[in-house]
Structure 1
Amino acid sequence: MILEAAMLHIKPGMTEAFEVSFKKASPLISSIEGYLGHELQKCLEDDHKYLLLVRWRSLEDHTVLFRESPEYTEWKALLHHYYHPFPVVEHFARIELE
């Protein structure tokens, strides 16, 4: 499993609209093969900052299957205009401790 993490900085005055748009966009990402789940968390110290976490079966499920899909085009149209600056997206793999 791969964990995608992105810190989202939302333009001032747009957080409520962003949350509505994110709810509309969520079915787009969840329809992609290899998608395992996602969550959006709002920062307690900065109400314009959100943490997006998405679990994927593999890196390619995100970087190829999703990002090259028509669903991603819709995702971008719904969400990308809220971000400033544009988020850095990173991918993580779990380290087994035992």
Structure 2
Amino acid sequence: MTSSPGILEQAVLDVVPGREPDFERAFGEARSLISASPGFLGLDLLRCLEKPSRYLLLVRWETLEAHTAGFRQGPSYARWSELLHPFYSPFPVVEHYSSALSTSASVV
């Protein structure tokens, strides 16, 4: 059995229209809070082309508990919430995934 590649957290973030620049600035500050959390492996914040006030947040964690217990119950989460939660409408649903199948493009 091989070791797990970690957990992928995903959240679709619908930001109040017109507040995208402020959200991106706040996320720039919030990024340092999450990246300092034990078990954090990396993140991507993607902006939707069809709906510019929608973002996709993908965060890689070593374990589910690194996110749910470590970060969300840790000392930095209150500041994270203060920075980002006012921008969401509606509040996002967060889900966690583990790899079931992976394929990469072949290099010839």
TM-score relative to the length of structure 1: 0.97
Query: What is the alpha-carbon root mean square deviation over aligned residues?
Result: 1.2
Q: How many residue pairs align between the two structures?
A: 98
- For 1:6 and 1:76, the matched residues in 2 are separated by 14
TM-score relative to the length of structure 2: 0.88
Match of 2:10 among 5, 9, 12: 5
Deviation of 1:12 after TM superposition, in Å, equals 1.4
2:97 counterpart letter in structure 1: F
**SS state at 1:60 partner:** helix
Task: Calculate percent identity across the aligned residue pairs.
Answer: 49
Say whether residues 1:14 and 2:19 are aligned partners: yes
- For 1:30 and 1:71, the matched residues in 2 are separated by 10
Say whether residues 1:80 and 2:85 are aligned partners: yes
- For 2:19 and 2:49, the matched residues in 1 are separated by 17
Runs of 4+ in 1 over 2 A off after TM superposition: none
* Structure 2 runs not aligned, ≥5 long: 1-5, 104-108
Equivalence for 1:53:
58
